Each structure stands twice: as C-alpha cells, then as structure tokens.
Structure 1
Amino acid sequence: MAAGFLLPGCATYQIKPLDDAELHRELAVPDPAMLTQAAAKLDHPRLRPVFLDFSKPLTDEAIGILAVLVNPDLKAFRAREGVAEAQVFNAGLLPDPKLFGRFDWVFSGPAGLVSPYTATIQWDLAKLATRSTDVRIADEHAQQVRLDVAWQEWLVANQARLLTRRWVYLSRQETVAAEAAQVSGHLLDLTKQNLAVGDATLAELGIREAAFLDAQDRTLALARQIAKTRQDINRLLGLPPDHVVPIAEVDAEPPRSLDATRLFASAERQRLDLQALKAGYASQEAAVYRAILGQYPAFTLGLNDYHYYSDYNTGGPTVSVDLPLFNRNRGTIAIAEATREQLHREYVARLNQTRADIGTVVTDLTRIALERTPLARELPELTRAERLLREAAAAGDVTLVNYETVRANYLDKRLKLLALEQAAAEQAVALQLAVGSPSLL
C-alpha cells in the first residue's frame, strides 16, 4: 500500500536525444510573425518592446531587440534560469525520513526461539534548522542569474545597435569614397591628356596616379569593412551568412551629458551586472551564515521496534547527535568567508572598471566633438566653393583640373566628417552600454 501511494509521485525518465531535424529547425530563419509578437511583448528592465515590421528596413533599436530574441548564445544562457529555479525548488524541499530494517533467520538453538527483526525510522532535523537559510541562498542566486541574463541581453542588444550604426555610416562613406575614386580617375585621365599636349609633367602624372590608387584602395577597404560588419550582424542574429536584414538609416544624436562623475553615479544605480553581483554577494552572505550553523551539533530523531529471539517486543525513540570535537565545520566556514571576500573584491573591481570605461568613452566623445565641430562648420563653405567652381568650369572660366582638385579635397573632407560621425554614433552606444541604461541622465 505504501509503495502504491508513493510511486505515482515519482518522476520518470524521458530520453531527449540530439535530433538532427530539430537541430536544423533551430538553425532555420525564425518566423517573422512569431518574432513580431515576441518583440511586442518583451519584458526587460532596460529594453522596451518594439514593433518589428519586416516589410521595411529595421532601425538599430529594432535590430537590437531582434538580436535579444534570436541570438543563439542568449538562448543557451537563459537555460541557466531554469537551473537556478530548480535549485530554489530543491532548497525548499523537506528531507525524507530514512527507514532501516533487519531480519535474522534462526537456523539452530534452543527450542522456542523465533526469528528476530529490527525496524527503525529516522528523520534528520539539521535540514529543518537550515531550510530557511538554504532557500534564501538559492533565492539570491536565482536573482543573480536572472540579472546576469538580463545584462547579457543588454550587451547583445547594444552590440547589435553598434554594428548597425557602423554598417550605415560605412555605407555612406563608401558612396562618397566611390565618388572620390571616380573624380581621381577623371583627374588622372585629364592629366594624361595634358601630358600628351605638353601641358602637364610626369611628376604631376605620378601624383595623379598615386591619388587614384589611394582612392580605389580606400573604396575597396570600406567595401570589405561593410561586408564584415554585415557578417557580424548575421552572426549575432544567428542567421545564415547570405541572409540580408534590411537596415534603416540612422541619425544619431550626441549624448547631452558628458559628466563622467554623474554618469558613474547613474551606472552604480542602473547597471544590471552590478545588481547581479550584489545578489551574488547576498547569497554568499547567507552561505556564510549557513556554514556557521553547521558548526553546531546536528540532531537525528528516530523510532525503533525490536523483536527478540524470545518472542517479545521493545521499542522507543532514538536520538543521534554529532560531537563537534575536531571538525566543527571550520573548513566550510573558512571557504565560505573567503568566497565572500572574493565576491566583495570582484564587486569593487567591477565598479572600478565601470568608472574607467565611462571615463574613456567620455574622453573619446569629447575629442571627437572637438575634431568634428570645426570640420562641420567648414564643410558648408567647401560645398559652396565646389558648386561655384563647378559652374565656373562649365562656363570655361576655370580649368577642369583646378575644379577637380577642389572637388577631390571636398570629398576627402566629407569622408573625414562621416568617419567622425560614425565614431560618435558608436561611442554614444558604448556610453549607454557602460552606464547600463538607454537614458544617460
């Protein structure tokens, strides 16, 4: 009857092999409708839900959310949450009692002897004394895992945003670089023609050829960077290498606040990895308390039933207790306290790294702004000069070589400005990542 009562509550083993068909489904491009639904219901402490419209190019924010949903590494990382929840469940379970039995057959001896038996049931009370602490340890660890997962999602989302912005600005630079290469090629052709009629020198021809080759190399280098960035985006999204995600244009605004002290104070409050470390420290603090409890004697209560050879029974309670003479759980306490100190040092080190990261990004953004401001101020004048010279060249008032020289310089300045804008856009994402929040205030 006891077996019939207990067995239905037992877990059963179910095999789960690595099925090739299922693995191929995991590698396939996800269903857009399911992704749109999941993105609209996203629940994250730092990322807001978005509407994914795959019929249009996706913004950097949308691609960041898409990465959170489909990134293969995140899918594997989230499995840690299930393990942590199982540990919480396990910590809350009561200990099972233990049943001991013994039976002896009488083979020889005086007449009237019966076969004796012994039955004992015991229950370990030490687990009851530490159950609440064990649950607290598991709860804090589960909270740490949840925050770690959320932090990893935050990192992946911002890495996707950064790559998206990089692709957009590199594409803009490639367009301008291709135009500059075309101008350099035209200048080279004009120089060759002038050399043929004696209006140019071999030195000028060499300069034009070098400029043309440099412009071509720059265009090809940008094309390689664009292709690599596209592959990096696909890898982050877990998509096949030949898959193309349409990307919308980005108009990034520089951060309003570049006060490193205020940003670091904000990071202390908002960074999920710091909160995860705090939860881990709280879990270890409880583990130290659990180790301290382990130095006290552990009690085990039981009931006995003895049936003797002479066919009479005795029974009664039993108590067993550990004698803390030699061990006294000192090794476990020392390990727990040392681990707590290690976690304390890791938290301080992460704070220091956070402060340094924010300071580095703020310095880079300040330097970029100093370079970008005068260039952005001068570029409209260069644009106007290029237009006037183009009109003058068309009217025959300026030689085409002079015009093309000014135009090449104008395109070089545009490329430099686009490169600075790319750096500013990427560093703006890096600053949000370092602070741990989309809001930098």
Structure 2
Amino acid sequence: MGRGSKSGWFLGLTLLAGCTFYQPEPLVSTPTWPKGLPRLQVDPKSLPFPELAAHPFDPRDGLDMTEVATLAVVNNPDLKLVRDDLGIARAQAFDAGLLPDPQFYYSPQIPETSTPGENVIAFDVGLNYDLSALVLHHARQATADAEARKADLALLWQEWQVVGQARLLFVRIRAEEGLRDTLQESRQIAVQLQRREEGALAQGNLTVTVLSVDATVLQGIERQISDTELVLSQNRMALNALLGLAPETVLNLVGEARVPILDAAAVRAQLPTLPQRRPDLRALAAGYDAQDQRLWQAILGQFPAINFGLLKARDNNGTNYHGYAVSTNLPIFNRNRGVIAIEKATRQRLHDEYQLRINTAQQEIAQLLSDLAQLEHTLRALDENLALQTQVARQSALALQAGTVDLSANALVQETRLVKLTEKITLEQAMQEERVALETLVGGEFPYKELK
C-alpha cells in the first residue's frame, strides 16, 4: 500500500472517529410506573427550592406535605418531559455555537470525442465558504443561549407549579379525611337516635312522622359520607398520577396540612421585585431577548450575503488555472423586508404578553391577599362560635348521663356542634388552598409569619 493510500485511510478513520452513530431506542407500550412507593435517594442539592432541600426525606414513616412535594419534583412524569425540552434547548444552543463547514466541490469534464494524445480530462475543483455565516454567528448564538435560559426557567416554574399542586392535593385529602371522620361521628349519633325512636315507635310513644324525618337526616349524612369518599378517592388517584405512581398505590400521608402564612405586608412591599424572582416572568424575559436577537438577525440579513471560494481548474488541452470566486445576492426586490416585519411583530407580541403577565400576576396576588384576610376574619368568628358549641355539647353530654336531658335533645346539641366543625374544616381547607396558591404565585421563598 502506498503512502497516499495510507494517508487516505488515516484521514477516513479520523473523520469516522468524530461521528455519532445511530442507536435505536424502541418504544415501550406498557405502563412503566413503579408498583409501590419507589425507594428514592433524594439528593438535597438536586432540589430547586431551599425549603425542600432542608427537609429530610424518609418515606418509611409516611409522607408529610413537604415530602410529598419533594417526591413530586423528583418523580413527576410531566417534569421529565419539560427536562427533555431543556435538553433540546441546550442541544440547540450547542448547535448554534458551531460554525458551518466549508464546501468542497469537484467537477470532472470528460470529453465525448477526443483525439488520442491531444485531449485530457478537464476538471474544476474548489473550496467555498459562506462569509455571511460569520456575520450572523454571534446573533444566532445569543438567540440559542436565550432560548436555553428560557427553557431552564420554564422548568423551574413548572417544578414550582408541581410543588403547589402536590401541596394542594395534600390539603384536600387531609381535609376530606377530617370531614369524613366528622360525618361518621354524626352518623353514629343519628343511628343511635334512630334505634331509640324505633323502640319508642314500637311502644306507641312516637309517631311515624318523627321517625321518618330523622331517617331522612340519616340518609343525608350517608350520602355526604359517600360523596366525600368519592372525592377523596379521586384526589388520591390524582396525587398518585402527579407523583408518577401506579393508580392503586396507597400512600400513608401523615402530619397536618398547614401552609406557612405569608406576611401580607412583606408580599406587597416586594411586589416590584416579582419580575426578577418569579421563574415564568424571567422565562418570558428570556424569550423576549431571544426574539430581539432574531430581529437583529433579520436586520443583518438585509445586507448582501457573500460567498468566497478558492478554485483550481484544468481544461481539455491540459492548461491549468487557479483563482478565486466571489458571489453575492443583489438586494433589489426582497431585502429581507418580510422577515424583518414578521420578527418585529413577533417581538411586539412578546413585549405585550410580558406586560400583561406582570399585570395579571399582581392582580392575582392582590386578590388572594384580600380573600385570605376575609377568610381569616370569618374563621376567627367561627372558632368563637365553635368553642361555645363545644362547651354546650360537653354540658349536654354530662346532662344526658345524669338523666336530666333525653337522647333527642342531646343529639340535636351534638349535631349542631358537628355542623359547625364541618364548616370549620371546609373553611380551613379553603384558606389553606388560598395560601398554597399565594405561595405558588409569589414564585419562591418569601417572608413568613409564625403559624397560627
């Protein structure tokens, strides 16, 4: 093998060494979720929020609200897709940073008729490069970097949304469990009363009308319990889906659903810094930067593109030539004006969307602060009434034992207390949900008040 052949083989192997080869990745047509709670080793450094990173994750003793949020960030299926989008954006940024390759061409010209010994094979060989790619390179790189930054911030915002949804479902499940227990207590009282009234009816000491009314009350309680069980099952299934678990997984949820109370005055004082803190607003700003760079690219594109190349040629008589070639387009009709108009209109749309999102965010936060203040006022009044009803119910129970109050009168007192307790559970659930929504909308760590 000659030296030229060896050099060719070496060059070919070198080029192949830098290539990426195709590897198939077949689709899986069956569910891939774990059968039970996965044994996850959570790295606190991988969690996007300090509150989650500072909380120990140990599912062996059950999952509290923060552990549920941690598991959601680590194992949520939708977040995996958003992370894939981030990988695509980073790959596009990498691609934008690469310069285009030069173009090599070779064109042999074989004569159809020739005189022996006089004509030879002519050829053109050259090396071209698009110089306009160098002009646009920085703008394309800046565009791709801004898009990657936007994808990174979009992932952070989506993670925060998943945390909020996990907390919201935890609040609802715990509230529905408390409501179910309260309704079951009401059912026990109603069942005891119905049995006593059935005995009184058998003895002729009670009318059918009274028994029918109380039986209807019992049926209503049974229906409420059934409805609560249905909603509880639906929310547990929704939580399993959010956590990337099989639908039949039964989670042991522990601890109270208590969301820290944000300091309303601090929230209002720091609203001007919201665009610098909330990931979705920062992502919109990054998207605007990317579009601004696209507009700049379009403006640069109105200037003539220049292609430069070196060439070598030989005609059929054996005469060799060498030189260079320069080509450019003539900006007479198009001048990239359509692309510039499109990119400018798109930038204006992103500008308006960013401003609208800021306005909407502040309006939503102001509304939540107002709603929470009203809910807290209503809850304080309800607590006072419930404390009175609890005291009356305790005295009625003692009077029942002493025989100074009959079962019907005591049942009425106890049911009044349980109705107020049900109102409190529902009201507290609404307030906790509002706090979760507020914490989600402020987009991160914020000053808290002490838990009440």
Q: TM-score range by the shorter chain?
A: over 0.9
> Which of residues 12, 28, 31 is equivalent to 1:3?
12
> What residue in structure 1 maps to residue 324 of structure 2?
317
TM-superposed CA distance for 1:43, in Å, is 3.5
Q: What TM-score, normalized by structure 2, do the two folds share?
A: 0.91
Alignment of 1:27-426 (within 5 A): 27-29=33-35, 32-33=38-39, 35-38=40-43, 40-44=44-48, 48-49=52-53, 50-109=55-114, 112-252=118-258, 255-258=261-264, 261-262=268-269, 264-265=271-272, 267-426=274-433
Seen in structure 2, the aligned counterparts of structure 1 residues 363 and 406 have a Cα distance that, compared at 3 Å, is: same
Q: Decide whether the 8 Å contact of 1:147 with 1:273 is kept in 2.
A: yes
Secondary structure of the structure 1 residue equivalent to 2:60: coil
TM-superposed CA distance for 1:3, in Å, is 3.4
CA RMSD of aligned residues (A): 2.1
Seen in structure 2, the aligned counterparts of structure 1 residues 293 and 253 have a Cα distance that, compared at 3 Å, is: closer
What fraction of aligned residue pairs are identical, expressed as a percent? 31
TM-superposed CA distance for 1:263, in Å, is 6.4
Gaps of 5+ in 1: none
Separation of aligned partners in 1, 2:37 and 2:175? 29
Seen in structure 2, the aligned counterparts of structure 1 residues 204 and 18 have a Cα distance that, compared at 3 Å, is: same
TM-superposed CA distance for 1:337, in Å, is 0.7
Separation of aligned partners in 1, 2:278 and 2:417? 43
Given residue 183 of structure 1, which amino acid in structure 2 is its aligned partner?
A: I
Gaps of 5+ in 2: 1-7
Seen in structure 2, the aligned counterparts of structure 1 residues 350 and 246 have a Cα distance that, compared at 3 Å, is: same
Separation of aligned partners in 2, 1:47 and 1:336? 41
Q: Decide whether the 8 Å contact of 1:263 with 1:440 is kept in 2.
A: no
Size of the alignment, in residue pairs? 436
> What residue in structure 1 maps to residue 22 of structure 2?
13
TM-superposed CA distance for 1:108, in Å, is 2.6
1:164-206: CA deviations, max 9, x gaps?
Answer: 1111111011111100111112222233333444544444323
> What residue in structure 2 maps to residue 427 of structure 1?
434
Separation of aligned partners in 2, 1:5 and 1:168? 63
Seen in structure 2, the aligned counterparts of structure 1 residues 264 and 210 have a Cα distance that, compared at 3 Å, is: farther
TM-superposed CA distance for 1:266, in Å, is 5.1
Judge which range, 186-195 or 227-236, deviates more.
186-195
Q: Decide whether the 8 Å contact of 2:65 with 2:167 is kept in 1.
A: yes
TM-superposed CA distance for 1:251, in Å, is 4.8
Seen in structure 2, the aligned counterparts of structure 1 residues 266 and 59 have a Cα distance that, compared at 3 Å, is: farther
Judge which range, 374-383 or 197-206, deviates more.
197-206
Separation of aligned partners in 2, 1:262 and 1:203? 62
TM-superposed CA distance for 1:105, in Å, is 2.1
Seen in structure 2, the aligned counterparts of structure 1 residues 31 and 6 have a Cα distance that, compared at 3 Å, is: farther
Q: What TM-score, normalized by structure 1, do the two folds share?
A: 0.93
Separation of aligned partners in 1, 2:37 and 2:224? 39
Given residue 78 of structure 1, which amino acid in structure 2 is its aligned partner?
A: R
1:413-435: CA deviations, max 9, x gaps?
Answer: 11111111111111111111111
Separation of aligned partners in 2, 1:254 and 1:107? 89
Separation of aligned partners in 2, 1:239 and 1:254? 27
Separation of aligned partners in 2, 1:115 and 1:235? 71
Separation of aligned partners in 1, 2:412 and 2:36? 51
